[in-house]
Amino acid sequence: MVYLRSIDPSIEQDMRYAGAHNFTGHRLDGYDAAECVLSRDTAEALARVQKTLQAEGYGLKVFDCYRPSRAVADMGRFATEPGDPRKVEFYPRVDKQDFWRLGYVARVSGHSRGSTVDLTLTGPSALPAATWSPSAAQVDCTAPYEQRWHDGGLDMGTGYDCFDERAHTANPSINATAKANRQRLGSAMEKQGFTGYPQEWWHFTLGSNGAQRDVMDFPITPLSSSAADVIGTSGQLIVVTSKHWDDLQASAQRYQRDGSGFEKVGDAFAVVVGKNGMAWGKGLNSAVADGPQKREGDGKAPAGIFKLGTAFGYDASATTKLPYLALTPDTECVDDSQSSHYNALVDGAATAKDWNSAEHMRSEAGYRQGIFIEHNTPAAPASGSCIFFHIWRGPTSPTAGCTAMDPANISALFNWLDPRQSPLLVQMPEAQYEQFRQRWNLPQR
The CATH number assigned to the domain holding 103 equals 3.30.1380.10
Residue 366 to residues 82, 214, 402, Cα–Cα distance (Å)? 37, 26, 11
**333-342: Cβ within 8 A, 24+ apart:** 333/358, 333/359, 333/361, 333/385, 333/386, 334/358, 334/385, 334/386, 335/296, 335/297, 335/359, 335/385, 335/386, 337/296, 337/379, 337/381, 337/382, 337/383, 337/385, 338/381, 341/214, 342/379, 342/381, 342/385
Domain-located, residue 219 = no
What is the distance between the alpha carbons of residues 339 and 357, in angstroms, rounded to a whole number? 9
- Please give the backbone phi and psi of residue 163, each rounded to the nearest 5 degrees, phi first: -85, 85
Q: Mark whether 238 and 199 lie in a shared domain.
A: no
Q: Mark whether 296 and 176 lie in a shared domain.
A: no
Domain-located, residue 220 = no
Q: Are the C-beta atoms of residues 370 and 337 closer than 8 Å to each other? A: no
Q: Mark whether 254 and 344 lie in a shared domain.
A: yes
Domain-located, residue 443 = no
Catalytic one of 12, 35, 89, 200: 200
Q: Mark whether 45 and 155 lie in a shared domain.
A: yes
Q: Mark whether 206 and 231 lie in a shared domain.
A: no
Q: Mark whether 203 and 233 lie in a shared domain.
A: no
Active site residue 332: no
Per-residue pLDDT of the chain (445 residues; tens, 9 = 90+): 888 987 888 899 999 999 999 999 999 999 988 999 999 899 999 999 999 999 999 999 999 999 999 999 999 888 888 899 999 999 999 998 887 787 777 777 889 999 999 999 999 999 999 989 888 899 999 999 999 999 999 999 999 999 999 999 999 999 999 999 999 999 999 999 999 999 999 999 998 544 456 889 999 987 756 788 889 889 999 999 999 999 999 999 999 999 889 999 999 999 999 999 999 998 888 777 788 999 999 999 999 999 998 999 999 999 999 989 999 999 999 999 999 889 999 999 988 899 999 999 999 999 999 999 999 987 888 999 999 999 999 999 999 999 999 999 999 999 999 988 889 999 999 999 999 999 899 999 9
- Domain end residue (candidates: 212, 247, 267): 212
Q: Mark whether 96 and 130 lie in a shared domain.
A: yes
Q: Mark whether 93 and 197 lie in a shared domain.
A: yes
pTM of the model: 0.57
Q: Mark whether 262 and 198 lie in a shared domain.
A: no
What is the distance between the alpha carbons of residues 87 and 216, in angstroms, rounded to a whole number? 29
Measured distance between the N- and C-terminal CA atoms of the chain, rounded to whole angstroms: 37
Question: What's the confidence (pLDDT) of residue 211?
Answer: 45
Domain-located, residue 363 = yes
Q: Mark whether 203 and 242 lie in a shared domain.
A: no
119: Cβ contacts below 8 Å, ≥ 6 apart: 60, 61, 62, 63, 185, 202, 204
| DSSP label at residue 234 | -
Q: Mark whether 299 and 358 lie in a shared domain.
A: yes
Q: Mark whether 196 and 231 lie in a shared domain.
A: no
Domain-located, residue 218 = no
Number of structural domains in the chain = 2
- Domain end residue (candidates: 179, 212, 245): 212
Dmax over CA atoms of the chain, in Å, equals 73
For 151, the domain range is 2-212
Question: What's the confidence (pLDDT) of residue 210?
Answer: 44
What is the distance between the alpha carbons of residues 23 and 149, in angstroms, rounded to a whole number? 13
- Domain end residue (candidates: 152, 184, 212): 212
Helix (H, G, I), strand (E, B) or coil at 385: coil
Domain-located, residue 358 = yes
What is the distance between the alpha carbons of residues 425 and 325, in angstroms, rounded to a whole number? 20
